[in-house]
Amino acid sequence: MLQIDALPAFNDNYIWLLQDTTQKRCAVVDPGDAAPVLAWLKQHPDWVLSDILVTHHHFDHVGGVEQLCNITGAKVWGPAQENIPARQVALNDNDHITVLGLEFEVFVLPGHTLGHIAYYHADASTPLLFSGDTLFAAGCGRLFEGSPEQMYRSLNRLAVLPAQTAVYCTHEYTLSNLRFAHAVEPNNPDIAARIAQVTAWRAEGTISLPSSMALELRTNPFLRVNETSVKEKADEWNKQDNDSPSAVFASLRSWKDKF
C-alpha cells in the first residue's frame, strides 16, 4: 500500500515521500535538501530509503541528492539530458521504471529546463503524476531554458492524462497562481471557488496539493489557451492577435512573469 506525504523544504518546496507501508521502503522526489528526509528516516529507523527520483537539475531539487545517496545507498534516477548529482540511471522519454513495486512512465517535458522529466504511474483508480516544475497547481514553470512552444507542447502532453490523475508538483505556489488565473478569467466560477478553498487551507497551515488534472483543466490558464476569453485577455496583454494556441500561451507566460 502506497502512502504519499510532503516534506516541506526551503520556503515553498515540497519533497514528495512515497512510502510502501508493507515493506517499509520509501522513495523521495526532488530532495533539494537532505535534512527533512534524514529527519524523517531518523524518526522511522526501521524504514529504508530505496530510491531518489529527480525531475530536473535546479539546486532546490537536487541539493540533497548526493548526501542522501551516500548515507542511504538509494538509487538515483534522473533525466539523461541534464547533469544530476550522483545519478545512477539516466532516463529518456517513454522509459518505464519500477519504484516501490510501481511502474512509472517517464515523460521528457522541455520548457522550464531543456531536459526536465516527469514521472507518471497509470493506476486504474488514481493515476499519479510527479510533474516537478512543469505543471503547477493553477500554473506552470518559468521558461529558464526552453521556448514557449516547447512548454506549450509539454503541457499539452500532460493535459490528455486521465481527469482523475493526482498532480504532485513541487512548490506551494497555488494561491499566487490562482490570483493570476483570476486576472485572466475574472468570471470563471471554478477559479473563484478554488481561491476560497486554498485561502482557507493555507490559513489553517494545510498544503494545497496534490491537485487533479480535472481541476487544472478548469482553473489553470496555461491549459485553457483555447478558451475565447483567455485568448482575448492574452491579446489585450501583448496588444496583438495571438493567432495560435502556443502564441496565446507565450503571451500568458510573459504576463505571468511580470504579474
49's torsion region: left (phi>0), alpha (psi -120 to 50) or beta? Answer: beta
Cα–Cα distances in Å, from 230 out to 41, 78, 136, 187?
Answer: 46, 35, 18, 11
Residue for grid cell 506525504: 5
Contacts of 232 by beta carbon, 8 Å cutoff, 6+ apart: none
Question: Cell numbers of 232, please?
Answer: 482575448
Kindly give the pairing relationship between strand 13-20 and strand 75-79.
unpaired
Q: Is 235 exposed, middle or buried (0-12, 13-18, 19+ CB in 10 A)?
A: middle
Neighbours of 78 (CB within 10 A): 27
Active-site amino acid positions: 56, 58, 60-61, 112, 133, 171
In the chain, alpha helices (H) = 34-43, 59-62, 65-72, 148-159, 174-184, 189-203, 213-219, 228-238, 245-258
